[in-house]
Amino acid sequence: PLVREPLLAELARLEDRSWTAEPTFPHRDPGEIAPITSPQDTSRQVGTRRDATAVEVAEAIGRAEAIQPGWNALGGEKRALLLEAAADAFEAHTAEFISLCQREAGKTLVDAVLELREAVDFLRFYAGEARRLFAAPMPLPGPTGEENRLTLAGRGVFASISPWNFPLAIFIGPAAAALAAGNTVIAKPAEQTPLIAALAVRLCHEAGIPEEVFQLLPGAGEVGQTITSDVRIAGVAFTGSTQTAQAINRSLAARDAPIATLVAETGGQNAMIVDSSALPEQVTRDVVASAFQSAGQRCSALRVLYVQDDVADAMIEMIKGAFAALVIGDPLAIDTDVGPVIDEDARSQLERHVARRQTEGRPVWRRGLPEQARGGCFVAPTIIEIASIRDLARENFGPVLHVARFAAGELEQVIADINATGYGLTLGLHSRIAETRRTVERLARVGNLYVNRNQIGAVVESQPFGGEGLSGTGPKAGGPHYVLRFATERVVCIDTTAAGGNASLLA
C-alpha cells in the first residue's frame, strides 16, 4: 500500500509543526515576513515566509554565477549522483513532504503522495539525463584528418519560478533539469507555497549539492521581477499563467543582455470529446477524475466536456451521479476527494465565473459545501452547460466543469473550436471508432492527447508533458528533449594531420 499506519501517525504528529522559508544566504537586515496559512482553514498558520530583498537577489545571482563553471566542470556523472542522493533524501522525508503538501497547499492525501512520487521521479529521470547527455562528447562525422565533436554545457545561471499547484514536483523538476545540465539555479517558489520548497532545497544541500549552486529566494511577484530583469540570468524555467509567462518574456527581452532561454509551461482550456461509441462507466470515472481531482487545480484538468447529443442526456445524468458522491472537505481527512482551492483570490474568481453563467441562464449544478468548509477557501464543485468552448473567455482554474453537446458530423468543427482557443495542452477522447481517433490525432493542436482514459497525471518519462501555443514553449517536462533546452552546444574541430590542414597548404 502507498500509505501505512505509521505514516498516518507521523502526519498527525506533524500537524502542529511550524515551518519557515527564507533566502539560502539571509542578510541580517531581513525583508518582509509573511504568514503562510492553510487554504482549508485560513486561521491556521503553517509557518512564515521571509521575502528576499533586492540586495539578497543580486548577491545570490553573483554567487551562482561565480560557482557555475565549477558545477559545469563537475560533469554529468557526478551531478547525476548528487541528484540521486537528493531523491533518496526526499524519500526519507516522506511524512514531512506529505504533511506540507496537505497543510500548505491543501492537497488530499492521494494527491500529496502522488506529488512526492513525481518529485522523486523527476530527480531520478534528470539524473539519468545528466549521465546520458553530459558524459562524453558526441563524435561528429568529418573528412580524414579532422576530428569533430559536440559537447553540451550549462548556459549559466537559471532562474526557476514555480507554481503553487505542484509546490514540490514542479518546484524540483525544472530546477533538477537545469542542475543536470550544469547550470546553477536561483529558485523562487510560488508565494503561497514556499515552505515545502525550503525543505526541498535544504535536503538537496544535505545530499551534497553546494548551497551556492541551488539557492532559494522566497517572495511574491516583485522578487520574480527583480530576478528576471537581472542581466546575469541566462534562462528562466516558468510554470504558471500564460499572462505571467508573457510578462517574463518581456522582462527578459528588455534587458541589455544576451538573449535568454525561456522554458514556459502555462495554462490550458482543455476539452474532452465523447462520442456515442464510448463506454459510459469509463467516461464517468474519467470525467470526474479529470475535472475534480486536485479540485481541478491542474493545468491538465478537464474544463470543457463535449458529448455527442444522442447519448448526452444519459451521460450527463451518470456524471452528475458520480459528482454527487464526491466527498468534499478537509484534505487532512483520509476519505476526502475534493479539498479547497488555493486562496481567497482563486475562490472569488471562480465564484464570479459561476455567478455570471447563472445570470446568463445557463443550467448549473452545484454541490453543497460541508459545515467545516466555512473557515477555508472552498468552491463547491460545479457543472455548467454551455453551447460551445467559444463561450469561455479564459481558463477557470478550479472544480468547475463545462459541458457542451455536438452532433454527428460536427467533430471537425468541435476540434476547430478547441484549436481556436489558442491553448494546446491536454485533450481527452472517448471513442471506440478508429476513424474518429485518426481525425482527432490529425487535427487537434495539443501537447498531450489521452484516449479512452482520464487526462491528468502525466507520468515522468512515459508521458512527457507540455503544450503549445498559449500553453507553453515546450519541450515536454520529463521527456527526452527537455534537458537540452537548458544546455548550450559547443563544437570542437581539430585538424589531426601532422602539419595542420591550412598551414600545410601554405608551406
Out of 163, 296, 428, 447, point to the residue binding ligand UN1 (CB under 6 A): 163
Query: How many Å apart are CA 88 and CA 204, to the nearest integer?
Result: 10
What is the smallest separation between the CB atom of 460 and ligand UN1, expressed in angstroms? 9
Sign of CA dihedral 224, 228, 232, 233: positive
Which residues lie below 8 Å from residue 171, measured CB to CB, with a gap of 6+?
A: 119, 160, 162, 187, 189, 193, 196, 197, 200
Q: Per-residue string for binding with ligand UN1, 165-184, x by CB under 6 A? A: xx---x--------------
Q: Select from 338, 221, 335 the least CA-distant residue to 288.
A: 338
Q: In this structure, are residues 77 and 84 in contact, taking their beta carbons and an 8 Å threshold? A: no
Is residue 299 annotated as a catalytic residue, yes or no? yes
**For residues 164 and 406, which CB has a smaller minimum distance to ligand UN1 in the complex?**
164
Q: Select from 219, 182, 180, 177 the least CA-distant residue to 198.
A: 219
**For residues 63 and 476, which CB has a smaller minimum distance to ligand UN1 in the complex?**
476
Q: Per-residue string for binding with ligand UN1, 224-263, x by CB under 6 A? A: ---------------x------------------------
Q: Per-residue string for binding with ligand UN1, 436-465, x by CB under 6 A? A: --------------------xxx------x
Strands (E), 351-447: 364-366, 382-385, 400-406, 426-430
What is the smallest separation between the CB atom of 189 and ligand UN1, expressed in angstroms? 13
Sheet of strand 41-50: strand arrangement: 19-21, 41-50, 33-38
**For residues 163 and 219, which CB has a smaller minimum distance to ligand UN1 in the complex?**
163
Quick one: which H or E segment has residue 98?
A: helix 94-105
**For residues 152 and 291, which CB has a smaller minimum distance to ligand UN1 in the complex?**
291
* Interface segment toward ligand UN1; rule CB under 6 A; list 160-168, 183-191, 384-392, 396-404: 160-168
Q: Per-residue string for binding with ligand UN1, 291-320, x by CB under 6 A? A: -------xxx--------------------
Output the nine-digit C-alpha cell for 274. Answer: 465523447
Q: In this structure, are residues 417 and 402 in contact, taking their beta carbons and an 8 Å threshold? A: no
**For residues 72 and 242, which CB has a smaller minimum distance to ligand UN1 in the complex?**
242
Q: Give the active site residue among 22, 96, 191, 265.
A: 265
Q: Select from 373, 408, 381 the least CA-distant residue to 319.
A: 381
What is the smallest separation between the CB atom of 355 and ligand UN1, expressed in angstroms? 25
Q: Give the active site residue among 299, 351, 377, 489.
A: 299
| Continuous H helices in 336-469 | 344-359, 411-420, 434-443
Is residue 204 annotated as a catalytic residue, yes or no? no
Is residue 403 at the binding interface for ligand UN1, with CB under 6 A as the rule? no
Number of residues that bind ligand UN1 (CB under 6 A): 12
Output the nine-digit C-alpha cell for 271. Answer: 476539452
Residue with cell 553546494: 210
Query: How many Å apart are CA 80 and CA 27, to the nearest integer?
Result: 31
What is the smallest separation between the CB atom of 122 and ligand UN1, expressed in angstroms? 10
| Continuous H helices in 268-369 | 280-292, 309-324, 344-359
What is the smallest separation between the CB atom of 148 and ligand UN1, expressed in angstroms? 39
Query: How many Å apart are CA 260 and CA 232, to the nearest integer?
Result: 10
What is the smallest separation between the CB atom of 477 and ligand UN1, expressed in angstroms? 7
Q: In this structure, are residues 31 and 219 in contact, taking their beta carbons and an 8 Å threshold? A: yes
What is the smallest separation between the CB atom of 294 and ligand UN1, expressed in angstroms? 8
* Interface segment toward ligand UN1; rule CB under 6 A; list 85-93, 123-131, 134-142, 161-169: 161-169
Query: How many Å apart are CA 120 and CA 108, to the nearest integer?
Result: 19
**For residues 134 and 166, which CB has a smaller minimum distance to ligand UN1 in the complex?**
166
What is the smallest separation between the CB atom of 246 and ligand UN1, expressed in angstroms? 17
**For residues 82 and 98, which CB has a smaller minimum distance to ligand UN1 in the complex?**
98
Query: How many Å apart are CA 403 and CA 309, to the nearest integer?
Result: 11
**For residues 239 and 242, which CB has a smaller minimum distance to ligand UN1 in the complex?**
239
Query: Catalytic residues, which ones?
Result: 265, 299
Q: Which residues bind ligand UN1 (CB under 6 A)?
A: 163, 165-166, 170, 239, 298-300, 456-458, 465
